[in-house]
């Protein structure tokens, strides 16, 4: 099983969201995004953002605002805190998508209110199995000192890549100030997220779903015909690790080239400045 890119879909022909996929990262969100695509729905997923023309910078900027508005007390949040997103704000971010998944799922309760006609698909894994994957693949990498340093370096040299935004959102969602706090609060915060979604969305608008259920319940809930293809299974832990490694290497190489350019440019500027000073001193 491996990551594979989403199919090409014309943004002008899709949206606004008709499905809110309420499942945290590492609950099969990429498999679900690809399943929605097979059903003809354009799904938003964090792993697809680097493939955008601007590398996802525009959407990350909006997600940054949404994060600060939702968790204004998190370290690094802008002051004063921006106002909670309105329907127009969510449209600016997700208005050309039919489905919101993955990083956007952190805002599932707000999105369900902003899009009252949207159906909500809830995917909740067993906590212990989920946490083993989430801690290894997401939280420890962003919240450790070396992870924070890598994110700072890469985003300083390459522009916004979502690392800081995801880090802030994680701390906010887990009610924590650091890596130890996330670990301490993980179980309670995980359950609180799903309890909050269920409290905000009535049962008739909500599907409790497991990926093992396959096409039947999902298609019946969304009013879609069952496709004659296997349900996608992508982005397992090994595939995700491989994708992260390849992405990290590409970013490091790009950052190194930029830094090299700055270094040579700086040396050139020093030489030019020295020559000008010598000339003026004649």
CB distance 74 to 80 below 8 Å: no
- Residue 182, in any domain of the structure: yes
- Residue 197, in any domain of the structure: yes
Cα distances from 40 to residues 103, 122, 156, 252, in angstroms, run: 21, 20, 37, 35
Tally of domains in the chain: 1
DSSP collapsed to 3 states, 132-153: HHHHHHHHHHHHCHHHHHHHHH
Which residues neighbour 53 within 8 Å (Cβ) at sequence distance 6 or greater?
A: none
CATH number (domain holding residue 33): 3.40.50.300
- Residue 271, in any domain of the structure: no
Give residue-wise pLDDT tens across range 81-98. 999 999 999 999 999 999
**Predicted TM-score of the model (pTM):** 0.82
CB distance 97 to 43 below 8 Å: yes
- Residue 272, in any domain of the structure: no
- Residue 105, in any domain of the structure: yes
Residue 199 sits in which domain range? 11-144+161-238
- Residue 15, in any domain of the structure: yes
Cα distances from 244 to residues 30, 101, 134, 146, in angstroms, run: 14, 19, 14, 15
- Residue 253, in any domain of the structure: no
Q: Kindly give the confidence (pLDDT) of every residue in the chain, 282 residues in length, as a single tens digit, with 9 standing for 90 and above.
A: 445 678 899 999 999 999 999 999 999 999 999 999 999 999 999 999 988 888 899 999 999 999 999 999 998 899 899 999 999 999 999 999 999 999 999 999 999 999 999 999 999 999 999 999 999 989 998 998 888 888 888 777 776 668 889 999 999 999 999 999 999 999 999 999 999 999 999 999 999 999 999 999 999 999 999 999 999 998 555 554 554 455 455 555 555 555 555 444 444 433 433 343 343 344
Q: What counts of helices (H) and strands (E) characterise the chain?
A: 11, 5
The 10 Å CB-count burial string (b at 16+, else e) for 45-82 is bbbbbeeeeebbbebbebbbbbbbbbbeebeebeeeeb
CA nearest 46: which of 60, 58, 34? 60
- Residue 153, in any domain of the structure: no
Dihedral sign for Cα atoms in the order 224, 228, 230, 232: negative
Tell me the C-alpha distance between 126 and 134, whole Å. 12
**What pLDDT was estimated at residue 111?**
98
């Amino acid at each position: 099983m491996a990551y594979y890119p989403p199919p090409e879909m014309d943004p002008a022909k899709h949206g606004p969201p008709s499905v809110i996929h309420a499942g945290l990262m590492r609950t099969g969100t990429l498999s679900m995004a690809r399943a929605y695509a097979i059903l003809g729905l354009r799904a938003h997923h964090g792993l697809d953002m680097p493939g955008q023309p601007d590398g996802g910078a525009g959407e990350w900027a909006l997600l940054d605002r949404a994060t600060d508005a939702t968790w204004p007390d998190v370290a690094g949040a802008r002051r004063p805190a921006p106002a909670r997103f309105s329907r127009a704000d969510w449209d600016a971010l997700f208005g050309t998508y039919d489905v919101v998944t993955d990083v956007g799922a952190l805002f599932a309760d707000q999105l369900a209110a902003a899009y009252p006609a949207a159906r909500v698909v809830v995917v909740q894994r067993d906590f212990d199995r989920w946490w083993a994957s989430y801690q290894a693949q997401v939280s420890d990498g962003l919240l450790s000192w070396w992870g924070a340093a890598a994110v700072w370096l890469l985003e300083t040299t390459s522009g916004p890549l979502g690392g800081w935004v995801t880090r802030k959102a994680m701390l906010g969602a887990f009610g924590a100030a650091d890596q130890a706090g996330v670990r301490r609060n993980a179980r309670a915060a995980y359950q609180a997220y799903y309890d909050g979604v269920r409290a905000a969305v009535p049962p008739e608008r909500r599907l409790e779903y497991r990926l093992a259920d396959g096409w039947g319940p999902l298609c019946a809930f969304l009013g879609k015909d069952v496709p004659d293809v296997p349900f996608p299974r992508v982005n397992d832990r090994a595939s995700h690790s491989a994708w992260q490694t390849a992405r990290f290497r590409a970013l490091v190489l790009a950052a190194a080239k930029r830094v090299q350019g700055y270094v040579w440019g700086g040396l050139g500027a020093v030489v030019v400045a020295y020559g000008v000073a010598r000339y003026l001193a004649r």
